[in-house]
Amino acid sequence: MACKIVVIGSSNTDMVVKTERIPAPGETVLGGEFVMVPGGKGANQAVAAARLGADVTFVARVGDDAFGRTAIQNFEREGINTSFIVTDPRAASGIALIIVDKNGENSIAVAPGANMRLTPDDVLKARGAIEQADIVVLQFEVPMETVEAGVRLAKECGAKVLVNPAPAAKAPPGILPMTDVLTPNRIEAATLLNSSREEDPSRLAGELLQSGVGAAIITLGSDGVLIGQSGERGWIPAVKVDAVDTTAAGDAFTGALAVGLADGSDLKSAAQFAVYAAAASVTRMGAQSSLPTREEVEKLIAKELLEGH
């Protein structure tokens, strides 16, 4: 039976332009390819988990517009339960404008729209799904009071809590001690701790554990991930692939980590699986369009094992 995951978070439409380089302030760079794809950290993580075989319920808000209607259709096509997605007549759906350079690096601006109107009440209405969930996944692209309500409800219902603290923001003090697994990048970890972004990731992980987090996995891009839990540190190297677009790599990682943990894997095994999922995602353009299926991840794992990596 498929593991059950509830994702509480954002849904955006991503408008992506691929350029030679990311423009400097005031500069116009004539780009090449344009693509419009569904995105948003919450939606990306929900789709990532669904494609990897999980039974996913998504709690979100979209606008009563073409973008919102298309998003819900896309979720249904992925087999995601959309019963707790609210269509808001008073706000536009979230939009992200993304520029991707020739090396796959990106620059993103977001107009959150209906995402910032997701309320604690919207989360409470999903209690039945959360009570049945193995793990609940949250990010910081919706109001922080809603994130906190989701974390509290998940703990109350006995589900594991996975928080991806992105984009970088300070969190209410109550969130971290209730978080079983935290997946920041280096900047997000430093922001949570009011620390230097240049600080050693191992030290950042230690400080996060001291704040009450059950385990901290700091994602380091092409340098892999650092795992911190109960006095232990571990490192998993990144998988070398030809990167085309890194837009949803962190979301692919978090969604896959949730699936691994919900399936019963230990933290290191789940993180290793998630590293492969993230690597597979950067080989294609776009956010949700780049997220791999379980078969694709398993093929990449088999290929790496064959080549002795």
Ramachandran quadrant class, 108 (left: phi over 0; alpha: psi -120 to 50; beta: rest): beta
Could you confirm whether 251 is annotated as catalytic?
yes
Q: Which of 55, 65, 251, 266 is catalytic?
A: 251
Q: How far apart are CA 241 and CA 28, in angstroms?
A: 30
- Our CA angle for 155, 251, 2, nearest 5°, is 60
The DSSP line for 40-95 is -HHHHHHHHHHHTT-EEEEEEEEESSHHHHHHHHHHHHTT-B-TTEEEETTSPPEE
| Other Cβ atoms closer than 10 A to 131 | 15
| Backbone CA torsion sign across 119, 121, 126, 130 | positive
The DSSP line for 230-276 is TTEEEEEPPPP---S--TTHHHHHHHHHHHHHHTT--HHHHHHHHHH
Q: How far apart are CA 294 and CA 48, in angstroms?
A: 9
Q: Which residues are annotated as catalytic?
A: 251
